[in-house]
Structure formats: C-alpha cells, structure tokens
Structure 1
Amino acid sequence: MTLYSLRAPDDLLAVRFACSPVWETQAAVQTFADDRARSHHELWHRLVHERVVRLDLTPLFAVLPRRGYVPDFLTPPPRNARPRLRDQLAEIRATPPTQVGRELRLCRETVQDERYRRTLDSFLNDPPAARDLLATRLHEVWLELVAPFWIRIRTLLDRDIEQRSRMLARYGLRRVLDDLHPRIRWTKRGLSLADCSGRTVGVDERGLLLMPSAYLWPHVAAVVEEPWLPTIVYPVRGIADLWRAPAAPPDALARLLGRTRALVLAGLDRPLSTTALAALIELSAAGASRHLLSLRDAGLVSTTRHGHEVRYSRTALGSALLNGRRA
C-alpha cells in the first residue's frame, strides 16, 4: 500500500486536478501491450493502425512497461490544469542527466524483456541523448496518434474534473477521494492506494496532484519518487462515450444532403478538426474536407482557429436542420 500523508490543513488545500497531454501520449503507447486496456480503445486502434507502422516505438516500449516502473521524467507534473504538450516536452528535455540516469536504472530493474533491457543499457550509456530521443518519440506519437483526437479526449477529461469539482463543493474532499477508484481510499492516516510498494509519501506544502486519464483506463498509477510532485492518475469517467460513433443522421436529412454529408454534420457534436472528424466517421481526410467546405458554404457549419488548427462546429442552422426544427 502507498500512503499519501495529508495531515495539516495546508496539505488538504493543496490537492488539485489537472490533465496532461504527455501523460495521455505515453499511456496510449502502453495500450499496445495491454489487452485489457486495448479493449476500451478498439476503434482508436483500428483508426491509427496505418499510422503506427510508420513510427519506431521500440524506445518507448522499453521505458513504458504497463507493469513496473516508468521513468517519472517522461511525465512531468502539469504546472496548471491544462498544460501544452510543447511545454511538457521542454520540461522533459530539461531534466538533469543524473536524474534521467537514475530513473532509467530503476526502470531497467523491472523490465524482463531482453530486447528492452538492451535498449535501456544503450540509454544508460548516454542519458542526455536517451532523454532527447524519448521526447522526440513522444512528440511523434502525439502528432500521429493522439493529437487528431485530443479535443474529444480533453473534453472527457475536463468533464470528469468538472463533475468532481461539483462533488467537492457539495460533499467535501473525502467523498471525492473515495470516488476516484476502488483501490484509493481515505483513511485516518491519509490517502491510501492499494499496491505493493509499502511507501509513505509526505504531501506537505507541495500538494497532491490528481489526474484523470483515458488511455490508462481501467488502471490507476502513482508518482511517489523524489523530486516529483506526489501524483495519482485514475481512470476517467465515461470511457464508453469516448469512441462512440455519432448517431446516424435522420433519413430525411440523408436524402436531402446525401448520407455521407449528413453523417459529417451529425459528427460535429463538438468542435473538431478535419482529421479528427474523418477518423471518427471513418472517412478520408480529403473526403471529410470536401464535405465540410460544402456545409460551410451552405451556412451549416462554421470554422474557428485554435493555434495552427482549424476546427469545425455546427451552426444554429445546422443544428436545427439536424434535429428537424425551424432555425
């Protein structure tokens, strides 16, 4: 059992929630080696299959065992509730080589696969180079496998945090902590996580970070090593909604617009990029783009820019048409 010791009032006040793009990225990699976790993301695995073969995931597989120690420098604790991936990757690349080497050695002690042990041996010969390579590989996984779906994932994570914030206001912190996962319980001594570590982690003024995760589901994970912020990562609520395909559009709308174009309109139940929408409805990006432009020209969808990404949303007219109402 790992015990997070929260004794003073200041310790309890320092408990906070956040979501982490880099955590989701490494957890996504881990699903390829975990049949139980993979079963909850089957649609995603089918959608990204062709992209995975373009990536060299061996370095990440070596340091991301589903069971065993994962180097904590690969998942720096978010400094705010919604960090940017580029900032987290910069933190990874800024990790001192001595810390990188220490954590890679801890990881090697738990890895059983001889291929990955050899990879870790090569990493230990040059920790700074290993650190930078792993950051680069995480960035590649993000771009190819996670970013196209990030709006959908982040919406689910944000919803989890919002629900628990309302629970906190209504019922208090103990109820929130007891509700995170069956292995997590509030006791008189502090917050306990049922595992095999036997560790006691002092929270003090640093606080305790709680992070929902989609790709971790249904597992729970913890960060207990110094100098990192004590962290518990728990499975997000509502995982069944994450990869659910949009409902089929009404027959009348399909006859009016055409089935595929009607499906594109129905898929915009939240702002999505062309790539994310195409993946969701299993359409080519080029095909989705053509339909989106036609719907935009008809006033049924609108566009907004988020950084370098253009996202599409249904307009009031588009929603009225989809739902069979007068605008």
Structure 2
Amino acid sequence: MSVEIRLSAAEVARVRFAVSPLAETVLGVRAALGHGGHAVHRGWVREARPVLAAEPELPLLRALVGGCLPSFLFPAPRVRLPALDDELAELRATPHAVYATECATALGARSAARLPDPSCALSRITGALRRCHDRLIAPHWGRMRAVLDADVSKRALVLIDGGVEGLFAGLHGDIAWREGELLVHGRRRPEASPCTVEACGHGLVLLPSVFGWPDVLVDQSPVTAATIRYPAHGVGLLWEQPPPTPGGLEAVMGPTRAALLTALAEPLTTPALATRLGVTPSAVSQHLGALRNAGLVSTQRLGRGALHLRTERATVLLGP
C-alpha cells in the first residue's frame, strides 16, 4: 500500500534524524524469526536463532512480529539517540486502548484476542525486548551504530547541499516528494489509493535502519511525530570480517590503529572507516590524526569530505 504523509511548512522545518535501538531490536527479532530481513543478514540470523529459541516470551514475540507490525512497538524517538531503557519505558506506558487497537489492526481481531491482557502483555513485551537487545543486538551495537551514524552524516550533507527536496529525492527509490507531501511506495504502485498519514504538527523523524534493510517502513498511525525507517547506507559492510592485522603491530599501536592501517590499503572516507571498523566517526578522526602526525596516513580533502590512504612507510611497517 502506498502511504501519503502530509507535511505543513512548519512540519517540514521539523524534519529530523534519529537512531532507535528499540526499533533495531524489534526488526532484528523479526529477521531472526524469518519474517522480513534480507540475505545480507544471513550470518547474523544463523547465530541469533538458537539464542532467540531460549527466550521464554518467544511465542508472544512471534505473534507480534509475524505479520504487520503494531505501531506501539516503534515509539517515535524524542532525541537523536534515545537510550533503550527510555524507549522501553515509553512502550510500557502505551495506553491500553492504543495497544488493543493496534493489535487488532495489525494482527486481526481473532489473533489479537488471544494475546495477554494489556497490563500484563506490555510488561512481558518490554522485558523480552530488553533481553533480546542484550543478547542479540548489544554485542554488535558499536558496529551498527557506526553504520547508522555514518548514514545520518551523509544525509546531513545532502540536506545542506540540496535542501529538503534533495534529501527526500535521494533517500530511497520508493520515496517521492511533491510540495508538502511525501509519497512512499507510490512509484512502485502508482495506481493504488494511498493511505494518508497526518503529522499533526509534530514533524517527521527519519530513521536509518540496519534490520529494516532493504525496505521502507512507515508508521501509519503515529501518536506523535510521523516516522519513516529507510535502509541505511553501508549495511552490506556491517557483517564483513575485517582482515587480520599483524599481531606485533597491534600490540604496539593498539588494535584500532592497526586495523585502520590495514583497511587503508585503499582510499576510504572517515564514515566508511567507521562502518568497517565498528567505531564512531569521531574516534576514527582522532586515530587518523595520530597516524597522520606519525607519517603513516595521508589525507586529501574533497569538498566537505576527505579520503585517507596509508603511506609507503605504513605499508613497509605492515610487512608482506
């Protein structure tokens, strides 16, 4: 179904980005259960399934994420990077009427009737998602956040250069922008009558996603801000294993700097390095500064970005 999101001029001014650990947990569980997801996550899914099989609330989670996803599982983040506990508290505080309506809409009245009472279910759901995050997502969150942060940085530059129109034009092939309206999936099914979503004065939150990849997900019944979850750039690199670094060099300069030098056999940007190594762009910049001062990395500025490459001295240091 195509979705039309109507934005007033004031709401366009409130378009912002955020990263949601709760959303990645829900979508990760969904992928591990074989609903949605993509082959790019196959290795992670293979490791996650036996862990998820031991979750005591697995039947409840399976019922919630096996089809359409209830909107209350995805509260719109109030800040750019909310704490998971804050998101879980907001989920737990979902009004019972909203819970019942969303479950009936997403799952059908008969399936929703088999779910626990809201006061019990919301506590059980939040506890289960907390455990799933700790066991399935947290071990990889550093690399995941680096991918998501790098995507936000890239989109911010597009917004500076091309404005809101340029931002939406490059966000995803299923998203089209026309004055005051966003049409999601309309290019794929132009003949379909769109579902209309009103931002109701709260604006729009754009959330890059790892486990939503390669799809675009829209909250069709937002309580506050409208949200669009789109595939983060660079997800294909997320599960790649970095090449080994010489043990002696790693002991002298530390694992991150040794890994940076190994990766810089080819020219790479700071966001690309952050994605590949699973650290934040600011951490990469600090390490690059030290390596540059030691004559081991050269940097070429390209507009607002830069390309980094290891020097001949660094190549000799790494050895054959």
- Segments of structure 1 that go 5 or more residues without pairing to the other structure are 112-116, 271-312
Check if 1:230 corresponds to 2:235. no
> Secondary structure of the residue that 2:176 maps to in structure 1?
strand
Within 5 Å, give how 1:295-306 maps onto structure 2: none
| Shift in alpha-carbon separation, 1:106–1:42, aligned structure 2, 3 A | same
Q: CA deviation at 1:266?
A: 6.5
Check if 1:135 corresponds to 2:126. yes
Question: 1:69-125 CA deviation, whole Å, 9 max, x = no partner?
Answer: x111111111100000000001111111121111111122189xxxxx3xx4332x5
8 A Cα contact 1:32 1:38, kept in partner: no
> Secondary structure of the residue that 1:76 maps to in structure 2?
coil
| Shift in alpha-carbon separation, 1:257–1:209, aligned structure 2, 3 A | closer
- Letter matched to residue 215 of structure 1: F
- Stretch of structure 1 that moved more, 82-91 or 47-56: 47-56
| Shift in alpha-carbon separation, 1:47–1:265, aligned structure 2, 3 A | farther
Aligned partners of 1:95, 1:36: CA distance in 2, in Å?
A: 25
> Secondary structure of the residue that 2:197 maps to in structure 1?
strand
Aligned partners of 1:214, 1:323: CA distance in 2, in Å?
A: 33
Task: Specify the alignment match of 1:59 in structure 2.
Answer: 60
Query: TM-score of the superposition, structure 2-length normalised?
Result: 0.73
8 A Cα contact 1:2 1:198, kept in partner: yes
| Shift in alpha-carbon separation, 1:95–1:221, aligned structure 2, 3 A | same
| Shift in alpha-carbon separation, 1:110–1:132, aligned structure 2, 3 A | same
Question: 1:120-158 CA deviation, whole Å, 9 max, x = no partner?
Answer: 4332x5111111111111111101000111111011001
Task: Specify the alignment match of 2:76 in structure 1.
Answer: 77
| Shift in alpha-carbon separation, 1:134–1:185, aligned structure 2, 3 A | same
Check if 1:40 corresponds to 2:30. no
Question: 1:164-198 CA deviation, whole Å, 9 max, x = no partner?
Answer: 00111011111111111111010235111126672
Q: CA deviation at 1:248?
A: 2.7
8 A Cα contact 1:37 1:216, kept in partner: yes
Task: Specify the alignment match of 2:189 in structure 1.
Answer: none
| Shift in alpha-carbon separation, 1:6–1:266, aligned structure 2, 3 A | closer
Task: Specify the alignment match of 2:310 in structure 1.
Answer: none
Aligned partners of 1:148, 1:177: CA distance in 2, in Å?
A: 32
8 A Cα contact 1:5 1:201, kept in partner: yes
> Secondary structure of the residue that 1:205 maps to in structure 2?
coil
| Shift in alpha-carbon separation, 1:148–1:242, aligned structure 2, 3 A | same
8 A Cα contact 2:32 2:48, kept in partner: no
Task: Specify the alignment match of 1:97 in structure 2.
Answer: 96
Check if 1:244 corresponds to 2:240. yes
- Letter matched to residue 170 of structure 2: D
- Letter matched to residue 44 of structure 1: W
Aligned partners of 1:203, 1:23: CA distance in 2, in Å?
A: 20
| Shift in alpha-carbon separation, 1:80–1:101, aligned structure 2, 3 A | same
Task: Specify the alignment match of 2:23 in structure 1.
Answer: 23
- Letter matched to residue 255 of structure 2: L
Task: Specify the alignment match of 2:172 in structure 1.
Answer: 181
8 A Cα contact 2:30 2:36, kept in partner: no
> Secondary structure of the residue that 1:82 maps to in structure 2?
coil
Task: Specify the alignment match of 2:306 in structure 1.
Answer: none
Question: 1:256-306 CA deviation, whole Å, 9 max, x = no partner?
Answer: 589xx89x9379859xxxxxxxxxxxxxxxxxxxxxxxxxxxxxxxxxxxx
Structure 1 residue aligned with 2:149, among 154, 158, 166? 158
Aligned partners of 2:174, 2:236: CA distance in 1, in Å?
A: 21
Query: TM-score of the superposition, structure 1-length normalised?
Result: 0.72
> Secondary structure of the residue that 2:214 maps to in structure 1?
coil
Within 5 Å, give how 1:183-198 maps onto structure 2: 183-188=174-179, 190-194=181-185, 198=194
8 A Cα contact 2:176 2:184, kept in partner: yes
8 A Cα contact 1:223 1:229, kept in partner: no
Task: Report the number of matched residues.
Answer: 265
* Identical pairs, percent: 29
RMSD after superposition? 3.1
- Letter matched to residue 26 of structure 2: Q
